[in-house]
Amino acid sequence: MTGDEREVIGVRRGLFGAKGSGDTSGYGGLVTPVTLAGASPRPYGGYFDEIADTLDDALTQRGVAYHDAVEKVVIYRDEMTLHVRRRCLLVVAQTLRDDPRLRFELCLGVNGVHYPDDAERELHASYPLSSITHGRRIRLEVSVPDHDPHIPSLCEVYPTNDWHERETYDFFGIIFDGHRALTRIEMPDDWHGHPQRKDYPLGGVPVEYKGARIAPPDRRRSYK
């Protein structure tokens, strides 16, 4: 399977796939496959092969087998994503940062993604990395199950990830083990749930707009 081929993990009905409330989009009849990019075969092209080979060599020197650490490599739309097993995230990140042949000294944060249909891999954490030394960019991605949403914190390797990990915890519920103060950063401390997950209810409060009272999303009519 190449990075241009897609792995189908589910089907979305309606524009947003919301459940438990009326479809207010007007596109309730849409049926769309939910897909992820598949693994890419060699050669990857560009500098991507050099990165993979160098990382393989550097990890071996640390006593870590490359294929034990990296689940798959996806080349999609001229971007390289290394899907890393969570138990190896710290050593992979530290190797990418410290090896002079790689020198990915900058992590641009972490983004959460929720794929409810990706069984046992529902929560994804994506880390864009940049090498200022070599002028290159790649991405790390870690997937964990909904029932065990733990990923090692990267603050030890990239201290600037502190607030980014808090935000991803706040909105997606991913727990970054080892973070020094993993508390909410946007929502109130007593807030229930994680608002950017796809299973989060659409409920809300009515809004007054130009004299009209607009009902919250879950109280609006459904288009059928």
C-alpha distances (whole Å) from 31 to each of 18, 36, 87 are 13, 16, 37
Does 58 map to a domain? yes
Report the domain count for the chain.
1
CATH code, 153: 3.30.460.80
Does residue 112 belong to any structural domain of this protein?
yes
Q: 76 in helix, strand or coil?
A: strand
Q: Are 123 and 146 in contact (CB under 8 A)?
A: yes
| pLDDT averaged per 10 residues in sequence order, the chain, 224 residues | 70 75 72 90 96 98 97 94 98 98 98 94 98 98 98 97 98 98 95 90 78 75 57
11 part of a folded domain: no
Beta-strand ranges (E) seen in 63-144 are: 70-76, 79-84, 106-107, 111-114, 123-131, 136-144
Residue 66 confidence (pLDDT): 97
Residue 224 covered by a domain: no
**Distance separating alpha carbons of residues 54 and 122, to the nearest angstrom:** 30
pTM, to two decimals: 0.86
**pLDDT at residue 88, rounded to an integer:** 98
Residue 79 lies in a domain: yes
The pLDDT, as a whole number, for residue 1 is 41
User: pLDDT value at position 22?
Assistant: 62
**pLDDT value at residue 224:** 53
**Residue 78's domain spans which residues?**
38-219
C-alpha–C-alpha distance, residues 50 and 71, integer Å: 18
Instruction: Give the number of other CB atoms < 10 A from CB of residue 3.
Output: 21
Which region, left, alpha or beta, applies to residue 165 given φ > 0 means left and ψ of -120 to 50 means alpha? alpha
| pLDDT attached to residue 213 | 83
Asked if residue 9 is part of any domain, the answer here is no
- DSSP-derived 3-state class of residue 4: coil
Q: What is the pLDDT of residue 3?
A: 47
Distance CA 190, CA 195 (A): 13
pLDDT of residue 2: 45
The answer to whether position 98 is within a domain reads: yes
Both tokens of 193, joined, read: 């749930």
Instruction: Specify if 77 maps to a domain.
Output: yes
Structure tokens at 130: 């940049």
